[in-house]
Amino acid sequence: MGKKQGEQGAAWLSEKMSGQVDFEQRSLGSSDEIGLQYLSSLTNSDMINRYIVIPSYEMESLQAFENYIASFPGTVQAGERQQIIEFVLKGFVLISIGKSGYLFNAVKVESSGVGEAVNEAIVQGPRDAFSENIELNINLIRRRYQSETLKIDMLTVGKVSRTSVAILYDDERVDRQVLKEMKKRIENVKIDILQSAGELEKYISPERVRIFPTMIVTERPDRVVFNIAEGKVAVLINSNGFAILAPSIFSDFFTAMDDKIQVPMVGWFLKTIRYIGLLLTLTLPSLYVTFASYNPEILKIQISLLIAGSRAAVPYPSFMEVFLMLLMMEFLTEASLRLPKAIGPTATTVGGLILGQAATQAGLVSNIMIILVSAVAISNFIIPISMMGYTIRVIKYIMTLFAITFGLLGVVGSVVGLIMYLSGIRSFGRPYMKMYALEIKSKGGQ
Amino acid sequence: MVSSKYIYYLFLVNALMNIINFVPRVLIFTRFQGTLPSIFISTAIGALLLYGFTKGIAGFKGQGLPEIFNANLPRFFSFFLLIMYACFWFSAGIITMLSFVDITVRYISPDISPYAVIIGFLLLSAICCRLSSESILYGLETILFLSTPVIIYMLVKAFLNPNFSWDAVLQIVTYMWTKPKYVTVAGATFIFSGFFNLAIFNRNFKELKTRYLWTIPLFGLVILLITFVVPIGYQGTVGVENHVYSWFSTADSIRMELFIIERVLFLFYTIYLMISMLSTVVHWHVGLELFKGAFQSKSGKLPGKKADWWVLIPFSIATIVIMNFLNQVRLGQIGQWFLNIRLINEFVLLAILFYAKKRSAKKT
């Protein structure tokens, strides 16, 4: 039974896998009676050489070779078509000898090179991060996405660097329009050197002043796999451990991979926390200016007195205080980022102790301001994708400027303006800010 | 293309911001002369307009008013009508803006120059109303999503207050059988006119699904009754007429004892600032698109994006000039005129729409 199916399976497999760049077919033997089919990105070529190719020329008869192959532990006789494709996608080699087929285990085990995700750390769940090798990165994704519908297109970008760029998508679920647009945009990139995903993201974004990222740059294979299954397009770049995901909308930037792992209620809670953090980091500095300088009567009398009392020694208006401290905080963040690990703690000590404690005692800033600045910084770091975090850091200053000029009106106006601006952005034709969850519920009404 | 739920948002934003556009004022002004019957009558009229307009415009799939008029009416006639309605929509936005400037200067920041406030308002509206209709609908959804819970909280807080005088409310109910007045009906129907924004937004609906349309009159009635009853419950049947912005005075009488902000007024102001900004953006967007539609070429091409400023800058300057001439009394009068003319105008619009529909049916 296995014999007949093995032969048919080989022809079927080559048809099914046609168009896959990493799919290889070889014929061995004096009259091509042995056929090999495998995915080069998943298999160990050394093993194939040593255990299949060389022995095939040394064996006396075809029967002997067949017995030799069948004797390997892990080798299976090819059966159902589905089984064949599953095994090939795992990294097995389909060997067809005459009319029978065998699946030979040649899985490439890449333990070295795959590091832990540092930028998008996670409590539970997979820890792998992309490496700097595109083959390995495709391997990482294939291992998690074992489906024949996962398609990979290879392109080259950069006149000098000739960097290979892979576009990954699920053939059945992908949005064709986005895929076409993505290919067109990547083909249109005219530069000499391409070294990182962030760079490519900049070049393929539509040219205009923009502040919000419309594509996620991630280092987590599990995020890429999750998004490919949602019908998005992923772009991998050789020599860089990051992938680009498009189209990405506002709420995607607030999704951590933890949310899937947690108990649903906890996941919801964490998501809510992030949006509250976003609101706080955006509005706290501007509200401080409003409450301290424009409308102290809004707050309860005790709180207003508290702020005024703590500001008693401060010799300049509230907005100077806010800008001074916010800038100091930015310097601290930037400094501790760039400093070598050995000196890193010094920055924290100097910043935390001297700026925090001494500045208030000297009367340069109020105590409440210190608390506020730390709250702003911490709630900014809650945002899971660092690109969005940077954007929010900038927006906060714009909002503070509006608060300085218009008071409470400026704060509310800039929130409305921000929401309208976000609603106007499109990521590959998809609206950036849309109440996603509500949309699903009302799909029947569409 | 967007789903049909956005029609309800268009209605909701208008219904919620009626407090700014002098609707409670006229309701309270005539409280002994037929406000209650007017509320019920205007619910019926509103429902009539609502069904008529949605039925009428649903016949033109994906078309806005400019396309419908230009294709089915004599060119000169449609040009004149579109310019008129554009001015009308712009003035709706302007009245909202001006009364909010008045409120801001009176309640929140007496030390900010009204010019600074109006310039801030104008900048926001002029920039935001140039977004695509679809984007404005998404923004609408998000802001309503954020503000409705707070509004509901404030309402619950208002009704649960032990100082809310139900006796005053009961007394006003005894004036049920008085003869209604046109001004009151005109004012009360304003809250239903949100769906007239479909004049432009209809372009974005693939198909108007109006299965839950009956909820709108129901909601409208509830909102009208709340608008009318709550200020009376707080300020008494007679005392209520002493306030220009009776709802803001009402909000100022409510305390949140355990929150960091004590006076509900500020919460109320913030939320209503958001909603009225949004409503201005929606009105100006419709006005702008109607204006551009008047200059649509024979081949159906609309003026480009740059032409927007030729409309927006004159209207912005006009707003500032008008503000210069108005005091609070005049502003109130103009707001009332606007409401009075609006009702007739809506019936005219409906009639023209049906005429256009007949013409287009004859053509095919």
Region A53-63: mean pLDDT is: 82
Task: Mark yes or no for CB contact B266/A439 under 8 Å.
Answer: no
Range of the domain at B210: 5-363
**Residue A403, pLDDT score:** 92
**Residue A441, pLDDT score:** 36
DSSP B283-326: HHHHHHHHHHHHT--TTSPPP-GGGHHHHHHHHHHHHHHHHHH-
pLDDT tier at B318, thresholds 50, 70, 90: very high
pTM for this entry: 0.86
Q: How far is B157 from chain A (nearest CA, A)?
A: 18
DSSP strands (E only) in A125-260: 150-157, 163-170, 216-218, 233-237, 243-246
Amino acid at A121: A
CB-count burial class (<10 Å; 0-12, 13-18, 19+) for B85:
buried
* Contacts of A22 by beta carbon, 8 Å cutoff, 6+ apart: A39, A40, A41, A42, A138, A152
Contacts of A407 in chain B (CB under 8 A): 108-109, 112
pLDDT tier at A340, thresholds 50, 70, 90: confident
CATH of the domain at B199: 1.20.1740
How many C-beta neighbours within 10 Å does residue A303 have?
16
Look at the block and give the residue holding tokens 């085990």: A109
* Contacts of A102 by beta carbon, 8 Å cutoff, 6+ apart: A6, A66, A69, A70, A75, A76, A77, A78, A94, A95, A96
**Residue B259, pLDDT score:** 86
DSSP B14-57: HHHGGGTTTHHHHHHHTTTTTHHHHHHHHHHHHHHHHHHHHHHH
User: What total number of domains does chain B contain?
Assistant: 1
- The residues of A whose Cβ lies within 8 A of any Cβ of B are 294-295, 298-301, 303, 405-410, 412-413, 415-417, 419-420, 422-424, 431, 433-435, 438-439, 442, 445-446
* Tens digits of residue pLDDT in A366-391: 989 889 998 999 999 899 888 899 99
Q: Specify the range with the lowest mean pLDDT, choosing from B61-70, B270-279, B281-290.
A: B61-70
Contacts of B273 in chain A (CB under 8 A): 409, 412-413, 416
How far apart, in whole angstroms, are the C-alpha atoms of residue A103 and residue A86?
11
Task: Mark yes or no for CB contact B112/A412 under 8 Å.
Answer: no
Is the pLDDT at A94 greater than 80? The verdict is yes
Q: How far is CA B208 from the centre of its chain?
A: 21
Contacts of A424 in chain B (CB under 8 A): 131-132, 135, 139
User: In this predicted complex, what is the ipTM?
Assistant: 0.92
Q: Which of A163, A164, A167, A153 is nearest to A192 (CA)?
A: A163
How far apart, in whole angstroms, are the C-alpha atoms of residue A224 and residue A230?
10
Contact A432, A420 (CB under 8 A): no
Burial track A338-355 (b if 16+ CB lie within 10 A, e otherwise): eeeeeeeeebeeebeeeb
Dmax over CA atoms of chain A, in Å, equals 98
* Tens digits of residue pLDDT in A322-339: 998 899 888 888 888 788
Burial track A187-207 (b if 16+ CB lie within 10 A, e otherwise): eebeeeebeebebbbeebeee
Q: How far is B257 from chain A (nearest CA, A)?
A: 9
